[in-house]
């Protein structure tokens, strides 16, 4: 049985999903700004974690293949870390990699 995946209708977005969902304009703007700030913070944190892994590799003069073996991931996955492909990783995955190389991560709440 073949699944029908043809798109028959698409509603144009105005750039604010919260407004598209029916929130009042002022509330939609506030929600969008808050969501964007959270996304920016997550990206900043992922980059910081990736920098730690890349720095460890550099300090040990390690190839991506060797790092992949130690981190128990594929070599392309290590390449994605080194090249800051943040969209391909969760914070948990990066923290797990750091744990495998003996680095502790602490989180502060403000």
Q: What is the pLDDT of residues 38-61, one digit of tens each?
A: 999 999 999 999 999 999 999 999
The pLDDT assigned to 9 comes to 67
Domains of the chain plus CATH, in order, are 18-100 (1.10.260.40)
Q: What is the pLDDT of residues 47-99, one digit of tens each?
A: 999 999 999 999 999 999 999 999 999 999 999 999 999 999 999 999 999 99
Q: Round to the nearest angstrom and report the end-to-end CA distance of the chain.
A: 52
Kindly give the interhelix angle for 75-82 and 64-71, rounded to the nearest 10 degrees: 110
pLDDT at 14: 67
pTM metric for this prediction: 0.79
Q: What is the DSSP string of 6-44?
A: -----PPP-S-HHHHTT--HHHHHHHHHHHHHHHHHHHH
């Amino acid at each position: 049985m073949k699944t029908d995946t043809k798109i028959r209708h698409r509603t144009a977005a105005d750039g604010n999903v919260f407004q598209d969902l029916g929130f009042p304009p002022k509330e939609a703007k506030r929600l969008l700004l808050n969501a964007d700030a959270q996304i920016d913070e997550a990206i900043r944190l992922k980059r910081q974690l990736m920098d730690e892994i890349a720095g460890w590799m550099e300090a040990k003069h390690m190839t991506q293949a060797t790092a992949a073996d130690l981190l128990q991931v594929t070599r392309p996955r290590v390449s994605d870390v080194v090249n800051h492909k943040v969209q391909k990783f969760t914070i948990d995955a990066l923290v797990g990699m750091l744990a495998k190389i003996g680095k502790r991560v602490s989180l502060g709440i403000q």
